[in-house]
Amino acid sequence: MISSRLRLPVIAAALIVLVASAVLVLRQDTEPAPAPERPTDLRLLDIDFATERHWFALRARCEQADCTHQLLDVDNGVVQVRELPEPLRAHRSGPPPRLHVLGGKLAVAGAERRWHSEDRGRTWQEGLMAVDWPMDGLLPDMLLQHSCHGKDPCVPGIDAVLSFTGQQVPLTPEFTPPLTEPFPFPRQLAGRWWVVGKRDGRAAVSTSDGNGRRWQTRELPSTPPGAFRWAEVVVSGDTAYVLITTDHQPFASTLYRGAGEKWEQVWQARPDGQPPEITGLAAAPDGTLLAVSQGGGSWFSADGGHTFHAGQIAEQRVPGDTLRSVRGGMLSTSERGASHSVDGRRWTPLPFG
């Protein structure tokens, strides 16, 4: 039994516990619950490589409908986040900004304004559109881009992205290959500029190993039906491949193989063929062709593009939905992120979180 002398302290202690519990319950009932954190969505807008292990990317950091654009500078796996010019930081209507690595400089293009940086995105200078092209030809660290100027309808052409300012200007006639519906490969391949288009209505490819004043044009052995929608050039050793995609279904993709001055058609999409269409193409160092099709199907060819087989094992599959050649290898992207490969067999996921 508890003596009367001890009973009073025990009762007091019990009352203290009851009062403390009541205060805690009251506080939990009256204080508002903390607001849940808004989920953050990271999206990769564009990416370009300076070297195999040094690349830049534009990233959108979104919370619901509110997005902020940032620049990522990733060197040997170390990610640094940098600020873009103020007009490009917030999401606006229209296409997202584009990023280019031009020699030792960066260029970021918005819908109507362009900026360039000489210190890896720490500071930016705006480049106004040039009226006259101040260069005397194409330089190795420039870019060529498909363009369409004018309205109703626009006239397809070629623009150059100038390496020293990031400005995009139309090629003047003395540097333009004799092609209609031209689709240039952005950078030099094997020391040459490449442009795919039509000459006198027939599919052709033009190359220039100089500053663009002289172009050699070769007609391809067939002309795919329909208007050209996209073209890709891949060089593997002494062999070149040209992939032409048109708006004509079901023969939307046609692949050509060339060595020297001789070209042959090696593959064309068919309704019952595999793959049904090629939307990205690259070549591994051993000459194997890698391809992706609409919806992210992964394919490879070991016979110069004559036949393609679906990738069955990891070393035969491309991890993303897109595929293109970049400095130091090839790049594949998807909504989940991006991966880089040197040999087309082992892919390294790129950090952008």
Dist. CA 203–CA 218, nearest whole Å: 9
Instruction: Classify residue 221: in a domain, yes or no.
Output: no
> Is residue 318, in this structure, part of any structural domain at all?
no
CA distance 267 to 81: 44
Instruction: Please answer whether residues 103 and 92 qualify as being in contact, where contact means their C-beta atoms are separated by less than 8 angstroms.
Output: no
**Inside any domain, residue 295:** no
Q: Please give the Cα distance from 126 to 91 (Å, whole number).
A: 19
Q: Residue 133 has what pLDDT?
A: 54
Rounded CA-CA distance 320/236 in Å is 22
Q: How many domains are there within the chain? A: 1
Does any domain span residue 194? no
Residue 20 confidence (pLDDT): 45
Q: What pLDDT, on a 0 to 100 scale, did the predictor assign at position 324?
A: 94
Q: Are 330 and 320 in contact, with CB atoms under 8 Å apart?
A: no
**256: exposed, middle or buried (Cβ count in 10 Å: 0-12, 13-18, 19+):** buried
pTM score: 0.83
**Does 167 reside within a domain?**
no
d(CA 158, CA 87) in angstroms, rounded, equals 27
Helix (H) / strand (E) containing 27: helix 4-30
Domain that holds residue 62: 37-128
Q: Is residue 116 part of a domain?
A: yes
Asked, for residue 101, whether it belongs to a domain, the answer is yes
CA distance linking residue 113 with residue 129, whole number of Å: 8
Residue located via tokens 């209505």: 201
pLDDT for position 12: 45
Kindly state the tokens that stand for 253: 């993709």
The tokens of 129 are what? 């559109």
Domain assignment of residue 7, yes or no: no
User: How do strand 262-268 and strand 280-283 relate by DSSP bridges?
Assistant: unpaired
**Mean pLDDT split into 10-residue runs, the chain, 353 residues:** 45 43 44 56 90 92 86 93 91 82 85 86 79 68 89 88 82 91 94 96 94 93 93 95 91 89 92 87 95 88 95 87 92 89 93 78
Distance separating alpha carbons of residues 302 and 1, to the nearest angstrom? 93
